[in-house]
């Protein structure tokens, strides 16, 4: 297995939020919740479609009704690319769904699902409705049903957990799986299942290396919340051919945070080498590369300003900081929206202040060097990431 596939491969057991919840709350608490759920649903057996890796089907779900299959498009160098295929009957349901969408009446989509309980786009649309009215558990159930249906259609050769199966996002029939994975990943994060969310994010990233959903802008957050610090370092080093990815706002700051926590662990010492950059240096580099991030962290975390903070924020390096273009401004806003919770830890706030003070005291030449690196890495005069909506990265 090559390095890229190895770092993005997933163990099916790590896709079970129930297992992570057991670690968080204990087996007795989870058993009590499961018993209550079984009593509400009745003693029904799960749909028989073989063992699934993405979700465990609920006992009250109907049998999968087909209509969708998957075919191999091509294979090269051990990587296989697939696409979903709709039957003629499924295409008719798709037309009915589009008519429901045009009516702007979610009740019509709900009615369509009564007749076709596994229509992917209808499940996604209704899940989005429930999410917007705050019914997150109902939304999650619909997303799980969607993932179950899409997995039922998989080719026997399709194995996204191994990191070598691809789906082209430009093929519209493939898009429901991307949407379902991204939305379900968000749900898991809201539940506090950060490790499970990270694993789903890995699956999402492996499907299309162009990352059409912007999963790379949140995988660092889930890795940090799950304590997967060494994995995050390995991911940035191994998954991307272009190491300039480390210049992205989220990775430049999150790699520093990951290194900070690794330094706090005694077991990290044997892995350290003379080439390992200290976390304080990484954070100072991030602040020189993206100085406008500091005031946004202080405002959003929020961090209570004292005299030292006021002095730092008034320093010309930070007071005059600009993002450096629409693309970078957008990425910085995504980073703040997704990661501001990381900076609520008092120890990290003190560490951040020390790094900011060090940047203020540094010679201007070093800051200028990082400013040149920023200008070279983010040259576009238009927003290249406009399709990655900032609200998509909020809990």
- Are 301 and 367 contained in the same domain? yes
pLDDT for the residue numbered 44: 43
3-state secondary structure the chain: CCHHHHHHCCCHHHHCHHHHHHHHHCHHHHHHHHHHHHHHHCCCCCCCCCCCCCCCCCCCCCCCCCCEEEEEEEEECCEEEEEEEECHHHHHHHHHHHHHHHHCCHHHHHHHHHHCCCCHHHHHHHHHHHHHCCCHHHHHHHHHHHHHHHHHCCCCCCCHHHCCEEECCCCHHHHHHHHHHHHHHHHHHHCCCHHHHHHHHHHHHHHCCCCCCCHHHCHHHHHHHCCCHHHHHHHHHHCCCCHHHHHCHHHHHHHHHHHHHHHHCHHHHHHCCCCCCCHHHHHHHHHHHCCHHHHHHHHHCCCCCCHHHHHHHHCHHHHCCCCCCHHHHHHHHHHHHHHHHHHHCHHHHHHHHHHHHHHHHCCHHHHHHHHHHHHHHCCCCCCCCCCCCHHHHCC
- Are 164 and 272 contained in the same domain? no
Q: Which of 128-142, 322-336, 363-377 shows the lowest per-residue confidence on average (mean pLDDT)?
A: 363-377
**Residue where one domain finishes, among candidates 168, 185, 206:** 206
**Residue where one domain finishes, among candidates 206, 225, 249:** 206
- Are 195 and 335 contained in the same domain? no
- Are 176 and 268 contained in the same domain? no
pLDDT for the residue numbered 322: 82
pLDDT for the residue numbered 37: 52
**Residue where one domain finishes, among candidates 206, 236, 270:** 206
Q: Which of 57-71, 231-245, 249-263 shows the lowest per-residue confidence on average (mean pLDDT)?
A: 231-245
The residue among 296 and 27 whose pLDDT is bigger is: 296
- Are 199 and 277 contained in the same domain? no
pTM for the model: 0.91
- Are 186 and 226 contained in the same domain? no
pLDDT for the residue numbered 45: 45
Average pLDDT, the chain: 90
The number of domains in the chain is: 2
- Are 132 and 249 contained in the same domain? no
The residue among 85 and 395 whose pLDDT is bigger is: 85
Q: What mean pLDDT do residues 330-349 have?
A: 97
- Are 289 and 146 contained in the same domain? no
pLDDT for the residue numbered 50: 58
The 10s digit of each residue's pLDDT in 131-154 is 999 999 999 999 999 999 999 999
The 10s digit of each residue's pLDDT in 32-61 is 555 555 555 444 444 555 568 999 999 999
- Are 324 and 187 contained in the same domain? no
- Are 298 and 387 contained in the same domain? yes
Residue 35, domain extent: 3-206
Flag whether pLDDT at 304 surpasses 80: yes
Q: What mean pLDDT do residues 160-185 have?
A: 97
- Are 166 and 231 contained in the same domain? no
pLDDT for the residue numbered 43: 44
- Are 131 and 235 contained in the same domain? no
Q: What mean pLDDT do residues 192-209 have?
A: 97
Q: What mean pLDDT do residues 334-347 have?
A: 97
């Amino acid at each position: 297995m090559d390095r890229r596939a190895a770092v993005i491969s997933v163990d099916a057991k790590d896709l079970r939020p129930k297992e992570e919840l057991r670690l968080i709350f204990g087996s007795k608490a989870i058993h009590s919740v499961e018993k209550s759920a079984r009593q509400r649903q009745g003693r029904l057996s799960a749909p028989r479609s073989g063992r699934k890796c993405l979700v465990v089907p609920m006992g009250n779900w109907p049998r999968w009704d087909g209509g969708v299959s998957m075919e191999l498009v091509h294979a090269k160098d051990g990587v296989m690319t697939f696409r979903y295929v709709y039957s003629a009957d499924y295409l008719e349901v798709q037309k009915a769904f589009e008519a429901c969408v045009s009516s702007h009446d979610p009740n019509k989509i709900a009615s369509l699902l009564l007749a076709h309980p596994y229509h992917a786009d209808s499940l996604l649309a209704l899940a989005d409705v429930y999410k917007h009215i705050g019914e997150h558990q109902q939304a999650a159930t619909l997303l799980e049903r969607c993932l179950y249906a899409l997995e039922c259609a998989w080719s026997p050769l399709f194995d996204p957990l191994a990191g070598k199966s691809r789906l082209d996002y430009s093929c519209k029939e493939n898009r429901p799986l991307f949407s379902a994975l991204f939305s379900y990943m968000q749900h898991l994060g809201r539940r506090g299942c950060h490790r499970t969310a990270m694993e789903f994010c890995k699956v999402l990233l492996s499907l299309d290396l162009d990352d059409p959903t912007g999963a790379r802008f949140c995988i660092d957050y889930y890795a940090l919340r799950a304590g997967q610090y060494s994995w995050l370092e390995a991911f940035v080093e191994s998954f991307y051919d272009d190491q300039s990815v480390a210049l992205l706002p989220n990775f430049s700051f999150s790699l520093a945070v990951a290194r900070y926590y690794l330094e706090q662990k005694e077991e990290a010492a044997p892995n350290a080498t003379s080439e390992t950059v200290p976390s304080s240096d990484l954070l100072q580099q991030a602040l020189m590369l993206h100085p406008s991030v500091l005031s946004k962290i202080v405002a959003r975390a929020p961090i209570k300003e004292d005299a030292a903070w006021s002095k730092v924020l008034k320093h010309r390096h930070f007071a005059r900081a600009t993002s450096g273009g629409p693309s970078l401004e957008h990425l910085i806003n995504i980073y703040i929206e997704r990661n501001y919770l990381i900076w609520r830890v008092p120890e990290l706030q003190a560490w951040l202040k020390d790094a900011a003070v060090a940047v203020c005291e540094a010679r201007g030449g070093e800051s200028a060097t990082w400013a040149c690196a920023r200008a070279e890495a983010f040259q576009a005069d238009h927003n290249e990431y406009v399709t990655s909506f900032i609200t998509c990265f909020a809990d």
